[in-house]
Amino acid sequence: MTSLALTRDRIARVRPGPALAALLIAAFLLLFLVVPVVQVIFVAFQDKTTGAFTLVNFADFFRNDLFMRSFANSFYVSAMSVVVASLLALPLAYLTMRFEFRGAVLIQSLGIIPLIMPPFIGAVAMQLLFGRNGSVNLLLRDHFGVSIPFMEGLNGVIFVQSIHYFPFILINLSASLKNIDRAMEESAQNLGCHGFRLFRRIVFPLAMPGYVAGASLVFIKVFDDLGTPLLLNVNDMLAPQAYLRISSIGIADPMGYVISVVLIACSLLALWVSALAMRGKDYATVQRGGGGLAKRRLKPLELVAAYAVVLLILVLVLAPHVGLGLLSFATIWSFSPVPDAFTLKHYQTVFTESGQYITNTLLYASLAALLDVVIGTAIAYLVLRTKLPGRQWLDYIAMAALAVPGVVLGIGYLRSFYGVPMPFTGQPLSNFWLILVFALAIRRLPYALRACTAALQQVSSSLEEAAENLGATKLRTVGRIVVPLMSGGILAGFVTSFATAAVELSATIMLVHSQSDAPLAYGLYVYMQSAAGRGPGAALGVFAVVIVGLGTYLSHVVIERGRRERGQDH
Amino acid sequence: MLRTTRTLRNAAAALAVLLLSGTAAFAEDPSGKLVIVTSFPKDMTTAFQQAFQKANPKVTVEILNRNTNAGVKYLQETASNNGTDLFWASAPDAFEVLKGAGLLQPYKPQVKGIPDIVGAYPVNDPGGFYAGFAASGYGIMWNTRYMKANNLPIPKEWADLAKPVYYDHVAISAPSRSGTTHLTIETILQGEGWEKGWRTNKELAGNYRTITERSFGVPDGVNSGAFGIGIVIDFFALSSQASGFPVEFAYPTITTIVPANVAVVKNAPNKAAAEGFVDFLLSPKGQEVLLEPAIRRLPVNPVTYEKAPAGYPNPFKDTSLGAQVSFDVNLSQARYNVVDALFDQLVTFQLDDLKAATQAIHKADAALAKKPNDKAKALLGEARDLVAAMPVTAEQAADPQLAGAFTVERKSATDAVPERQAQVEQKWAAFAKENYAAARRKADEAAALVR
């Protein structure tokens, strides 16, 4: 919105700017989220035989044992995943932010990689490592005669989901920790507060916006996630139930859509609760420049312990990718701790066949992520800094996208845009590749939005007031003061959106209409449907991970340099 | 690379044959872009794509890969401005859905010499809306390393898989998710009758380790050794074997042979090329592509078997292959959704309870074998009956009134309103849960008697 906003510099003086921005965003959300989704889910409120409006389908939902069991399971798994993800994220975030740590940037980047778990292949890799007959259990059984049920039933879902989504907490928490005013900490220390008490009473509460943002994302994401439970063959959870019903031929009954509505409602509820938890607390700090916690050196023994903790966590969370790497070089890997032999031929196959997928993915995911941070920043600003009526709804609607199953969005897009011919070519609008970008942007907008909101919550509005008192226009203030101060959070949002958009499949699969426009996830899907495609699929997955990982690392480096330069100017 | 050159050579040979014989297959030379929506794996589509393009250099083949369900949905949603020429997939029922929705264009292939029946299943749609081009049969696939490590004997028949030794080692995909699994379940039901057939299906299910959501999930799991035995369609196993995985495959005596199909989509933008592709698929050279190790499907053109490697299954010669059961397509259609929903509610979503009951029965059975006891034996029989019990009879299952709960057609307001699907399902699920719990109690009781 900023570039758009800047062109309207003059209009802004009479303050219709925010209203206009809000209208534009509302139109975008309406066109690319609300209308397509409503096109599909109105079936939930329809009597199957007469087509009249009814709520009887919802009564059926609550009377059905299977759905109630699924509901309870989804809730349990989501809550446990938040707990386990916090256990993984807290030490990584705190240790790297608090202490002089060699390669802290690298650790932070590695910590984000689990988000990029390509579809299908991630679960295959996890089964090969931790499954009942995976490497770990085969070795344990051979040597000790025991096995650990990491991957059995709901355990498996919690295990995989925590590893997959804990970066949401890590990224947002780190961004918050970075923004804490050092003076707060120093004052506390001067008053005699140290160690764990300092962390519990001062540091953690100040970093609360980031933690809550991350934790609520993890909760909602796990609650709505489809791929992991399906691939682990756990189907008594809500999202898989919705998917199974919607996508089965001949069972176009309303229950799948009822579940979708319930999912969307629960996500909004979770958001509302997290907003409630944050209400009435002011997390903004005025001073900038000396931001972030004071870093101190660890004593040698502490250093060893800290490294051990970090390494242990990294080994655990990177395990799927180690498995993926092994798989991409493996000839055959079946019922054995390691592959039979290694080869480079899968990479050769991918190089000759799949270059197009990679360039398409880079284009789509970066455009989508850019769109996300622009809209995310704008919504955060509108919600936190203006008094526009109904502004909260922009936030709620955008976040509801998290709960819309990708299949529903994909079918909705086809319904809404297929009949619309494109100017000049006459091709259906839904075949235009930009539609795929919009679908990705809508699906990943919630990540960027939460990150941007958390970032803005930590910027004190007195800084903007100061700028305006000095004669800056509202837009100049936003462009020169607010956005730069939010840059850490915006970057976090960009990275999460980009990384996850690069591997999204469920909406993509409905919208891809030609191979030349297909992204990487589609290529992976195609490979993973055949026995011979497992190796090349893994190799393509490695490409995805490397590309996104490099992107993350580079943007960290850039932002760190920016901070340092600003710090010197100060 | 090897495969590509061989395909090219095949295609070149095909071209030569066509030129020499002077057949009028390409009266109007097809050209332009040919868009095919398919659920077939890349190994297979690429081979055919190259062979066809070689024979028709003016045509560019564009393959869109989607699973069968998503492919059907895609065609339905895009019908208003159709851009697809061909639909190419396994499950005949997906073609039935498209045909019912009026999305297919009838075409009578020019190729002669294709029999009407393969196994017990008609090769082509009677209305000519879709044509079978390859056949596949269901069977049992196993991972040799897994079997060795767990000391499991090699299963030969479906009934073997119900033995206690295979408890927690077998996997299948859900019939509601996989058209071909549905046919296996339906074949057992038709071969053994409704009551007995369900008994068999549930006894097998008591040993399932998991029920996967994708058809490919089963061979994938057997390949990696996540479970030892899978009930799969032959080409999954044969192509896995060809890729080097330590797996083997066998057809049981009673199996069903199902054609894989191709259909021209209504209002196809490039109808000439689409029809050319159908004829190419059925021509001897097109059929030979099916014999490639990574594809391994059974040709429907009997002459192609002369070129097949030794030991290649031949449904036109091996009478055991699919000939035991005469498959009633109409009966299958009438209860299609009911069978899927029954399996989901009684088996897939109650798998833990069903397995617990099965394990209790296995234990009691083993104890009883050592120390016979009439009362315990009677109790165990009751437990087995409880597991096998069905909430609906064969007549009810084929009743349009019940099937009406599972369709979406809007009826006129005067029609009797059937029960809602969710209500019916809840009833079935509760029935199964109660019976499995009771069966488990009885089996435990029987075991206690002989202890």
pLDDT in tens, A365-397: 999 999 999 999 999 999 988 888 888 889 989
Nearest to A346 by CA among A525, A535, A146, A558: A535
HSE at residue B189, side-chain half, CA atoms within 13 A, is: 25
Q: Do A249 and B97 touch (CB under 8 A)?
A: yes
Residue A27: band (very low, low, confident or very high) from pLDDT cuts 50, 70, 90:
very high
Contacts of B70 in chain A (CB under 8 A): 247, 509-510
Q: Positive or negative CA dihedral for B340, B226, A546, A350?
A: negative
Q: A567 pLDDT exceeds 60?
A: no
CB pairs < 8 Å spanning A and B: 191
pLDDT in tens, A96-118: 887 877 777 777 777 778 877 77
What class, spelled out in words, does domain B2-134+260-321 have in CATH? alpha beta
Q: How far apart are CA B348 and CA B328, in angstroms?
A: 25
Q: How far apart are CA A293 and CA B257, in angstroms?
A: 69
User: Between B80, B81, B224, which is nearest A124 by CB?
Assistant: B224
Contacts of B242 in chain A (CB under 8 A): 531-532
Nearest to A541 by CA among A392, A330, A367: A330
pLDDT at B352: 93
Q: Domains of chain A by range and CATH?
A: 2-569 (1.10.3720.10)
Contacts of B246 in chain A (CB under 8 A): 332, 334-335
Q: B31 pLDDT exceeds 70?
A: yes
pLDDT at A255: 83
Q: How far apart are CA A271 and CA A213, in angstroms?
A: 9
What is the radius of gyration, based on Cα positions, of chain A? 24
pLDDT at A392: 86
pLDDT in tens, A262-284: 888 888 888 888 878 777 666 66
pLDDT at A475: 82
Q: A3 pLDDT exceeds 60?
A: no
DSSP assignment of A183-241, as one string? HHHHHHHHTT--HHHHIIIIIHHHTHHHHHHHHHHHHHHHHH--HHHHHTT---SHHHH
Q: How far apart are CA A52 and CA A237, in angstroms?
A: 29
Contacts of A50 in chain B (CB under 8 A): 410, 413
pLDDT in tens, A183-194: 777 888 888 887
Q: Find which of B2, B36, B37, B65 to mutate to test the A interface (most A CBs within 10 Å of its CB).
A: B65
Under 8 Å CB-to-CB from A18, ≥6 apart: which residues?
A: A381, A382, A386, A388, A474
Q: Which helix (H) or strand (E) holds A14?
A: none
Residue B319: band (very low, low, confident or very high) from pLDDT cuts 50, 70, 90:
low
From B22's Cα to the closest Cα of chain A, the distance in A is 35
Contacts of B244 in chain A (CB under 8 A): 331-332
Residue A202: band (very low, low, confident or very high) from pLDDT cuts 50, 70, 90:
confident
Residue A253: band (very low, low, confident or very high) from pLDDT cuts 50, 70, 90:
low
User: Which one-letter amino acid corresponds to residue B89?
Assistant: A
Q: B274 pLDDT exceeds 90?
A: yes
* First vs last C-alpha separation in chain A: 28
Give the start-to-end residue ranges of the domains of chain B: 2-134+260-321, 335-451
Token readout for B69 is 């369900």
User: Which one-letter amino acid corresponds to residue A271?
Assistant: L
User: Between B176, B224, B349, which is nearest A128 by CB?
Assistant: B224
pLDDT in tens, B46-103: 899 999 999 999 999 999 888 777 788 888 878 888 889 999 998 787 888 888 889 9
How many residues in total does chain B contain?
451
Count CB atoms within 10 A of the CB of residue A65: 14
Interface of A with B in 213-272 (CB under 8 A): 230-231, 233, 235-236, 240, 244, 247-253, 255
Are the CB atoms for A176 and A210 separated by under 8 Å? yes
Q: A556 pLDDT exceeds 60?
A: yes
Q: Do B407 and A250 touch (CB under 8 A)?
A: yes
Phi, psi (deg, nearest 5) at residue B36: -120, 125
Contacts of A416 in chain B (CB under 8 A): none
Q: How far apart are CA A21 and CA A378, in angstroms?
A: 7
pLDDT at A250: 41
Residue B278: band (very low, low, confident or very high) from pLDDT cuts 50, 70, 90:
very high
pLDDT in tens, A141-200: 888 888 888 888 899 899 988 988 898 899 888 888 877 777 777 888 888 887 778 878
Q: Do A335 and B210 touch (CB under 8 A)?
A: no
pLDDT at B407: 65
Interface of A with B in 524-543 (CB under 8 A): 525-534
Q: B202 pLDDT exceeds 80?
A: yes
pLDDT in tens, A275-330: 787 776 666 666 554 456 777 777 888 888 888 888 899 888 888 899 999 999 99
Residue A79: band (very low, low, confident or very high) from pLDDT cuts 50, 70, 90:
very high
Q: Do A251 and B337 touch (CB under 8 A)?
A: yes
Interface of A with B in 65-94 (CB under 8 A): 65-66
Q: B5 pLDDT exceeds 50?
A: no
Lowest mean pLDDT: which of A78-82, B74-78, B401-405? B401-405
How many residues in total does chain A contain?
570
pLDDT at B132: 92
Axis crossing angle, helix A433-457 with helix A208-224, rounded to the nearest 10: 150
pLDDT at B282: 93
Q: What is the dihedral of CA A169, A172, A175, A176, to 10 degrees?
A: -90
What pTM does this model have?
A: 0.81
Lowest mean pLDDT: which of A439-443, B336-340, B357-361, B426-430? B336-340
Three-state SS at A451: helix
DSSP assignment of B112-165, as one string? ----SEETTEESS-TTSS-EEEEEEEEEEEEEHHHHHHTTPPPP-SGGGGGSGG
ipTM: 0.77
- Rounded to the nearest integer, the mean pLDDT of chain A is 82
Residue A120: band (very low, low, confident or very high) from pLDDT cuts 50, 70, 90:
low
Q: B255 pLDDT exceeds 80?
A: no
User: Between B35, B243, B341, which is nearest A531 by CB?
Assistant: B243
Q: Do B213 and A233 touch (CB under 8 A)?
A: yes
pLDDT in tens, A464-500: 888 888 888 888 888 888 888 888 788 888 888 888 8
